[in-house]
Amino acid sequence: MSSIIGNNINSAIVSGMSGIQNAYEGMTQASVNLAQRAAQTSVELNGTGDVLANASLNSLSNVRNTLPQNVGSVTDDLISLQINSKNALASAKVVDTAFDTVGTIIDTLT
């Protein structure tokens, strides 16, 4: 019986941690998209000179990678940040509940 409980708790912890990792990756991608969009706006307003100057000041090895690419929309990225933030909070709650359950089981068995 306790191995079934242990496996379920381990599964909950793994699931929660996986959810946190996925949310982190989603938030990172949405943030990169927003930064690229901001850089693109800067290029449109000020030309490529500012972007290239900033790239050399930051010792970037490949200047072309700093030039923005047109991806999705600002709304999509902001919604993605919000969704992934909520997913991270929910996953953290799963992990927290699993840890609380382990504590309760340990207290009950001792």
Domain spans of the chain, in order of start: 2-109
Q: Read off the pLDDT band of 38 (50, 70, 90).
A: confident
Distance CA 90, CA 24 (A): 12
Predicted TM-score (pTM) of this structure: 0.50
- Mind giving me the DSSP string for 30-92? HHHHHHHHHHHHHHHHH-HHHHHHHHHHTT-S-GGGGS----S-HHHHHHHHHHHHHHHHHHH
pLDDT, residue 1, reads 46
**What single-letter DSSP state applies at residue 94?**
H
Weakest mean pLDDT among 11-15, 37-41, 59-63, 67-71: 59-63
Q: Which two tokens stand for residue 36?
A: 């690229």
Question: pLDDT per residue over 52-107, tens digit each?
Answer: 676 666 654 554 555 566 667 888 888 989 998 999 999 998 888 888 887 887 77
